[in-house]
Every structure is written in C-alpha cells, then in structure tokens.
Copies of this chain bind each other. A is one copy, B any other.
Amino acid sequence: MPARLIDSFASTAALAETFSDAAVIAAMLRFEAALARAQARLGIIPPAAAEAIAAIDRINPGSLSEDARQSATLAIPFVKALTAEVRKADPAAAGWVHWGATSQDVLDTALVLMLREAQPILSADHARLKHALRGLSDQHAGSVMLARTLLQPAPPITFGYKAAGWLGAAHRSWRSLSEAFEGALQLQFGGAAGTLAAYGDRGPELAAALAAELQLGEPGAPWHAHRDRLAALVAHCGIYAGSLAKIARDIALLMQPEIGEVSEPGGGSSAMPNKRNPAGSVVALAAAARVPGLVAAFLAAMPQEHERAAGGGQSEWPTVAGVIQATGSALAAVADTIAGITVNPQRMRANIEATHGAVFAEKAVLLLAPRMGRAAAESLVAKAVHGQTLREGLAQVLTPEQLESLDHPEDYLGAAETFRRRLLEETE
C-alpha cells in the first residue's frame, strides 16, 4: 500500500501499511483474540467462545471512524462490530467479547502491536545506513576536506571523520530509540478503572497470561494514565530524526555545485531536464521537519485527567503514527542517499586550495606566537592572507620547512583519525 499522495515524504509504503485501517483492525482483533484465549485458559470464559472470537479475522472499517466520534473512542463501534461478527458464527460467544476489558486496553495495546510491526522496518534501514556510513568513513579516511563552521571554511578534516560523526550520532540516537521501543512495547490492561476489578482477584494472573499470549512486556501496573513510556519512544524518534536530518542537511549543502564535494544519485526537475537535485536529502529534511512539532504535541498531551484523559490521550494515535512514519521516511531517504552517494575528493582538495591558505591561519599564528607574541602573530597573519596566499604572505617569517608544510591539509588534521576510529569503535 503506497503512502497517501499528501504524505509522500511523510511516510513510506511499508510504514503507511503499518498504520493502515487494515493494520489497526488486525491489531485490535489480535488483542481481543488473545484476551479471549487467555481468559479461556484461565477458565474465565468458555473455550468455545474464545475460539469463536479468535476466529474473526476481518472487520469492515466501514463507518467505524465516524462512529468513533460519537463515543470519543474507536473501541465502542469496533467491539460492537466484532460482537456482531461473532454472533453470526456463534451467538453464545458474542456475550464474551471484550469481557471485562475497557476501551483503552484494546486501543493502547493495539497501538503497541502496531509499533512492534514498525520497529523491524526501521531497524533494517538503520542497519543499512550504519553499514553504508562505516564503509564511507573507512573509504575516505584520507580524503581531506574543509571543515566548515557557520558555513565558512575552517581548518581541514577528513570526509571519513565527518561520516564517522554522522554515524556516531545516528548510532547513539538509534540505540536510545531501540531502548525506548523496548520500554514501550508493553501490554496495557486495566479494565474500567485500572484495577481489573471485573476479574476479581484474578486480574494480575490474567494480565500475565495476556502479555504472554501477545508476547508483550507486562508492566508492574496498567499505564492508562501515565504515558511516559510512549513519550520516550516519541521523543527518541525526534532525536533520531534530528540526527538523520543533520546528515541530510550536510549532504544538500555539500552538493551545491559551487561546492560540489558529494553528489546524490537521482533527483530530476520538471522544468530543467538536466538538473540534479539532492532529492534524498530533501525528502529526509521534509520528513524530519514534521517531527519536533509532533513530539511537542505528545508531550503537551501528557497531563491527562485522572484515570483516562478527556482529550489529550485521545489525540495520541495520529501523533505517534505520524512520528514513526516521518522518522522512518527520513531514515529510508538517508539510507538510500548514503548508499548511493558519490564523493569527489579532488573537489574537496580544490576547495581547500581555493582558500589560498587562509584556513591555516590558526596554524600560522600558533607557529609565530611563541616567537613574537600572539597579538603580533595574529596581526601579521591577518595581513598575510590579503591579496596573496598565506604561504606567500609568510615567506619571510617562517622557516622553509614550516612554509613547505604550512598549507598541507594532511599536516594539520590533529586527532581527526583518532576520533574517527573511536567513533567507529563505539558503533561496533
């Protein structure tokens, strides 16, 4: 199922599928089936009823979304529709549908089940990105290029170090996001008041059975009114998306033809037949741009009233689905981009040379300061870079050996390679 046209950059086909009507219904049915089975196993409902309930594998979305508005919960029309389906097959079973559970139990757990489907999609793309970035970093460990601060040239780095920096941030962000996924993939099951009172003293036992049935974590208590675990998932998507967007922004900037240091594959234009755009980076930036506002929306909805919110909680579904999809869209685009990127080390070196040594001014100052004082050195160097190369400007004051090495980028890389290796080690 492709993403909606309006969401072209805000989702991917795979993730759009994950939160589609079919997926929502499948997740809700899965909860109800698992609940019935767990209840049957514990003797709470008849086994035949459980079988009849678990046998339903389709509900027509029909007017469910409109009906949901009447009760402020999708669960009511859904349970009604499910009950009707069960009744067709086994009238006696119909009375056992959703037995003792509450709307939020099925909705929260269904959301968690959908999130569990989304995780491997993201994980696969992250693995792809990580692999590509590691390769890129190793391949260009010796490709010198300008660092750029405030969009202005600074002393040299290597592209391998730059790529390792991208990797480090993406890796750390993903690791935290993975932990947040684990923390969030927990059953919600509390009944009408969060006490499971409908099951007498068997609530915790049933909750454990249900969690096992669904292969979900079982929290110490229901979390219907406490959304911190979901919030962590959403927030860490925000951080991960930020780390991805940083890569995309760098690439879009490096691909400016006046800089020309990297090039994405693809990216045509409707008006200019031969134009090549940083399409992947732009898609990633467009997707990632959605996320901070959605994170804010989730956080702002956290102060939920009492045992079930009056508005905030009901706002969460599209927020969470939107965050996951946008993050996944940015990820897919960055992974594709990195996998297909062309790097131009010649152009990188040429751009260093085009500064006529100015980016080595710091180095010159450091060489001269011990001899003449820093202020004098800075003043001398500042003059030296006007109207000539730094090397020419300092021909009279540096030794031939110093002069020779002065503007060799390889001689002013400091710990770039050390840092690069450390970053790669951290991601192993």
Contact = CB atoms under 8 A, between A and B. Distances in A.
A3 interface: yes
Task: Name, among A2, A150, A239, A290, the residue most crowded by chain B CB atoms within 10 Å (CB to CB).
Answer: A150
B151 A305 contact: yes
Interface stretch (A33-41, A127-135, A374-382): A374-382
B226 A168 contact: yes
A53 interface: no
Contacts of A191: 155, 271, 414
Interface stretch (A118-126, A209-217, A273-281, A396-404): A273-281
A291 B230 CA distance: 17
Interface string A390-428: 000000000000000000000011111011101101100
Contacts of A153: 257, 275
Interface residues of A, number: 189
30 contacts: A2-B64, A5-B25, A6-B318, A8-B74, A71-B268, A73-B269, A75-B270, A100-B271, A100-B366, A103-B270, A152-B278, A155-B191, A157-B193, A157-B195, A191-B414, A198-B414, A199-B414, A220-B419, A235-B235, A238-B295, A246-B303, A252-B310, A258-B351, A274-B382, A284-B311, A285-B310, A288-B303, A290-B315, A292-B297, A293-B297
B229 A172 contact: yes
Contacts of A306: 147-149, 151, 250, 253
A362 B272 contact: yes
Contacts of A221: 164-165, 168, 419-420, 422-423
A116 to B, nearest CB: 16
Given A242-B231, A297-B292, A300-B289, A419 B311 contact: no
A314 interface: yes
Nearest to A107: B270
B98 A270 contact: yes
Nearest to A261: B258
State the majority secondary structure of interface residues on A: helix
Interface string A80-106: 000000000000001110101111000
Nearest to A358: B274
A257 B355 contact: yes
B385 A274 contact: yes
Nearest to A366: B198
A21 to B, nearest CB: 5
B192 A7 contact: no
Contacts of A232: 176, 236, 239
B231 A239 contact: yes
A37 to B, nearest CB: 19
A271 B362 contact: yes
A365 interface: yes
A210 B366 CA distance: 20
Nearest to A245: B303
B271 A242 contact: no
B249 A65 contact: no
B295 A252 contact: no
B2 A19 contact: no
